[in-house]
Structure 1
Amino acid sequence: MPLHALAEGRNQSIPSLLQEVTGLSKARISKGDLDTIRPSTQAKVDRHLEELLQEHFKGDPEGLQSFRSKIAAAPATRSGEQAPLAGWVHQIEFQPWIPLPITKGVALTIDELLEALLTCCRDDDLRGFKSVLLAHFGRSEQAVHAVGQMISEPAPENELETLQAIADWEQADKWNRNWLEQLYWDLISSLDAEWNSHYFAGRQTKPLFPLVMVRPQEGLLESMKVKSRRNIFFKPVRRLLEFLYALTFYFRYKRWPTKAPTPKTLAEILYRPGSRELAEESLISNYFDGTTKVTLDLVLEHWEQLGQHFMPTRLESERPNAPLPMIMLALQWQNLLVQDKGRSFLMPDMKRYEAIWSLRRGKWADLQAQQDAGFPKAGQPAREAIDWPEWSFSQSSSSR
């Protein structure tokens, strides 16, 4: 997932990203088993990475040292191996500094669970694999525990019986698909609750990441019938640009725009990539429908342009930081949740998502109550709850 998120943010394939980062050929990367490369090859990869770092931080030795310190402090599993999901959350903590102990604990628990399962796979230990899963599903509470202890919703008896009856790896793979998706959404809903609670100083009253997920045409999920061939569903990048516009509007006027921005509205604010000329309306429309891909760097440029438009008298350092996780996830979901070249889409079980969000939100509130009164809050000063615009949430809910 971290690699996928980075690749989507840069509009690259994962093999291209790995080639750029490691210096290995795509032919070698396509063979897989990158953890078994020879020591001499690993030494070349290390030298290549060092050259990239030196180039990136050229003239900024303090930045390089800070980066090395962050990497050194990255979470690891109890076996000492890298924890990719927890490491991804660890990186998000720094832009801006927002502590994420709850989400990091959830991510580390998932990392250790998957590590145990992958060890069973490598050892061809199907019995051990089933034992790990049965131990997980034998617990009685909900989801992944915030501090690293794995607890979950009770699995239906028929699913446990199916798990116990698994006789080969093909059956195990088929059984795993659904709960692996649940682990992903457990992590995302935790990040939603914790990061946004800091960013908005505890003023939000509902999950916010759904604002940049797929938004189906009203009534589509309930009836499974299309009312209009136009805008059958809104894609994540469109919803992201709408949200960023609404958020900067809110920061300026302390109220929400009455409706979502049109491509014409955004074209009067945003510039063409790499230019100081305003974008054409057609370019924004291409962003909306996915014809033209956007990158993380481009979205951050557009955030800066929105800030200049709505807050021209504020210094850049005084303007709000970009909601980075929402941006990264929207770019990832543009690919993960929109499939078949835009002919179909996926949505999480929103009822379960909201239930886990509420669990994490309560945990965050408990942690805040334990902090000193002088604990610095990120985002906006604490005031009354934010009344989010109805048009941004006009999305059918689904338990499917």
Structure 2
Amino acid sequence: MNTESSKPKAPQTCKKAQPPAQGVVAVARTLQALSLMPLHALAEVRNQSIPSLLHDMTGLSKARISQGNLDAIRPSTQAKVNRHLEELLQEQFKGDPEGLQYLLSKLAAAPATRSGEQAPLAGWVHQLEFLPWIPLPITKGVALTIDELLEALLTCCRDDDFRGFKCVLLAHFEHHGLPARAIGQMASEPAPENQLVTLHAIADWEQSDNWTRQLAEHLYWDLISSLDAEWNSHYFAGRQTKPLFPLVMVRPQEGLLESMKVASRKNIFFKPVRRLLEFLYALAFYFRYKRWPTNAPKPKTLAGILYRPSSQELADESLISNYFDGTTKVTLDLVLEHWGQLLQHFMPTHLESKRPNPPLPMIMLALQWQTLLVQDKGRSFLVPDMKTYETLWDFRSRQWATLETQQDTGIPKAGQPSRETIDWPAWSFSQSSSSC
């Protein structure tokens, strides 16, 4: 069909740029969402929207933030942002100049891609090394690999270079296989043949949309499983025998995923915040008694230990129940308050400096998963493919075991010093022993 207009054509130099096709826009948004995961996680733990978070962090107006393209702000505006950040840090570290200098030196050493651009995922992992000091070279390497892949793919999207997009992906899977690998690592498992066949057959941006969503999901869980294996092996002194993060993911009612039928309208699934509070209670209990509690704590149990936010008044059962079902939003600051209260309850004679650090990545992820994995206002949920997750985790765990033998034994380890195998409590995997 002839679509040429009879109207006079503008000179070549005056033609307006054509808007990108919807297919490439959808693909780019999926990739950008993965790249922005650390920002989304920070917004969730603070109970803020991303525009509000960026406003607080940069001092920019919400109107300017809503325009997007923050990389294009003028040098004078960037200088104002830098002064705003400096003032925030000065206030946060008032009276602790050494702490401020330490933080600034760590931020200055944040990873960057080979092109010199920021590496958001690797930078997020870099920050998780701070408190307590836990080196994460495996996870940081995986994150940097993903950052560079996303950077290359997004460049292809901006250039509307679909052929280059496919070439980047094929080269990635040829080099890495299923799990992303850092420099010096060997590929562990080839990419599934059916995925490669599908990738070869994709002919345009529209067809690549669904495939890209699956890719982003896989890369995300690859990164999380690596953090699961490495950070927790440090925290628990290498005694981990199975993934830990699934203990704070959505837990469906037993048999629900297999039968797709609800056995009971009560507790169709447990939400991440509930599972987090149950696990933190169990962990504090374990630090005190060197054994796990027989059952998960009920709201009444936690109400006898935890206080209302920023208050000296104990919580009541209804507030804990609201935490459990998601009616009341829980923030990072509140969870850290509750962690301190749990330790005070179970370890009252221990100096604060001698008490264990909170499992920070686990807390932050649970708070993010409360939104990411629970959808439709709590009526539906998402769970990862646990078989694939455990395969990835097992590979990272074996990498950790190899790396541990090469590390300086002087690196401080959080958690219990014993290397006995952890047998997680049965109720953390099964809802049958949780009655409330």
- Specify the TM-score bucket, using the shorter chain as the normaliser: over 0.9
Answer yes or no: is the 8 Å Cα contact 2:248–2:272 preserved in 1: yes
What are the superposed Cα offsets for residues 150-201 of structure 1, whole Å, 9 maximum, x if unpaired? 9585445554344334343333233200011000000000000000001101
CA contact (8 A) 2:178 2:192 kept: no
Q: Secondary structure at the match of 1:119?
A: helix
The 1-side partners of 2:89 and 2:413 are apart by: 31
Q: Which piece of structure 1 moves more, 59-68 or 376-385? A: 376-385
1:349 to 380, 385, 391: 385
Cα distance in 1 between the residues matched to 2:44 and 2:92: 20
1:281 aligns with 2:314: no
- Structure 2 counterpart of 1:247: 283
**2:89 pairs with 28, 53, 62, which one?**
53
Aligned residue in 2 for 1:87: 123
Aligned residue in 2 for 1:370: 406
Q: Distance in 2 between matches of 1:311 and 1:146?
A: 41
CA distance in 1, matches of 2:194, 2:342: 52
CA distance in 2, matches of 1:171, 1:42: 39
Distance change >3 Å, CA 216–CA 19, structure 1 → 2: same
Structure 1 pair 235/312, CA: closer, same or farther in 2 (3 Å)? same
Letter in 1 for 2:69: D
Q: How big is the shift at 1:374? A: 4.3
Q: Output the amino acid matched with 1:30.
A: S
For 1:185, the aligned partner's letter is: W
Cα gap change, 1:157 to 1:254, in 2 (>3 Å): closer
User: Is contact 1:271–1:302 with CA below 8 Å preserved after alignment?
Assistant: yes
Structure-2 separation of matches of 1:358 and 1:159? 22
AA partner of residue 190 (structure 1): S
2:346 to 291, 295, 310: 310
Q: 1 CA distance for matches of 2:194 and 2:230?
A: 34
Alignment of 1:43-192 (within 5 A): 43-139=79-175, 141-147=177-183, 154-192=190-228
Shift in Å, 1:387: 1.5
Q: CA 1:97–1:158 in 2, change beyond 3 Å: closer, same or farther? A: closer
Residues 80, 8 of structure 1: alpha-carbon distance in 2 compared, 3 angstrom cutoff:
same
* Cα 1:181–1:268 shift into 2, 3 Å: same
Letter of the 2:157 partner, please give it: C
C-alpha distance in 2 between matches for 1:37 and 1:167: 36
The alignment status of 1:22 with 2:44, answered yes or no, reads: no
Q: Find the aligned partners of 1:156 and 1:86 in 2 and give their Cα distance.
A: 26
C-alpha distance in 1, partners of 2:365/2:335?
A: 12
- Return 5+ residue gaps in structure 2 as ranges: 1-36
In 2: Cα distance, 1:148 partner to 1:78 partner: 16
- Identify which range, 268-277 or 150-159, moves more after superposition: 150-159
| Map 1:187-206 → 2, pairs under 5 A | 187-206=223-242
In the alignment, does 2:354 pair up with 1:332?
A: no
- State how far apart, in whole Å, the 1-side matches of 2:178 and 2:144 are: 17
- Matches of 1:152 and 1:135, distance apart in 2: 16
Query: Contact 1:137 / 1:152 at 8 angstroms: preserved in 2?
Result: no
The answer for the alignment partner of 2:245 in structure 1 is 209
Amino acid at match of 1:240: L
CA deviation profile, 1:201-245 (whole Å, cap 9, x unmatched): 111211000000000001100000001101000000000000000
Distance across 1 between alignment mates of 2:163 and 2:203: 9
Match of 2:31 in 1: none
* DSSP-derived class of the 2:405 partner: helix
Aligned residues: 396
CA offset digits 1:251-273 (Å, max 9, x no partner): 00111110000000000000000
List aligned pairs for 1:248-263, cutoff 5 A: 248-263=284-299
Structure 1 residues 148, 44: CA separation in 2 closer, same or farther (over 3 Å shift)?
A: farther
List alignment gaps of at least 5 residues for structure 1. none
Give the aligned partner of residue 322 of structure 1: 358
Counterpart for residue 68 of structure 2: 32
Q: Select 1:389's aligned residue among 408, 413, 425.
A: 425
Give the distance between the partners of 2:183 and 2:284, measured in 1 at CA: 34
* TM-score (normalised: structure 1): 0.95
Q: Following the alignment from structure 1 to structure 2, what is the Cα–Cα distance between the partners of residues 75 and 373?
A: 25
Q: What is the aligned-residue RMSD (CA, Å)?
A: 1.8
Aligned in 2, Cα 1:159/1:30: closer, same or farther, shift over 3 Å?
A: same
CA–CA separation in structure 2 for the residues paired with 1:61 and 1:91: 19
Which structure: larger Rg? 2
Aligned-partner residue type, residue 358 of structure 2: A
8 Å contact kept, 1:144–1:186: yes
Q: Which amino acid aligns with 1:285?
A: S
The aligned amino acid for 2:264 is S
TM-score, normalised on structure 2?
0.87
Partner SS for 2:417:
coil
Tell me: CA distance 1:316–1:350, structure 2 relative to 1, closer, same or farther (3 Å). Answer: same
CA separation in 2, counterparts of 1:34 and 1:340?
31
Deviations 1:124-147 (A, max 9, x none): 211111110111233474311144
- Partners of 1:157 and 1:92 in 2: CA distance: 35
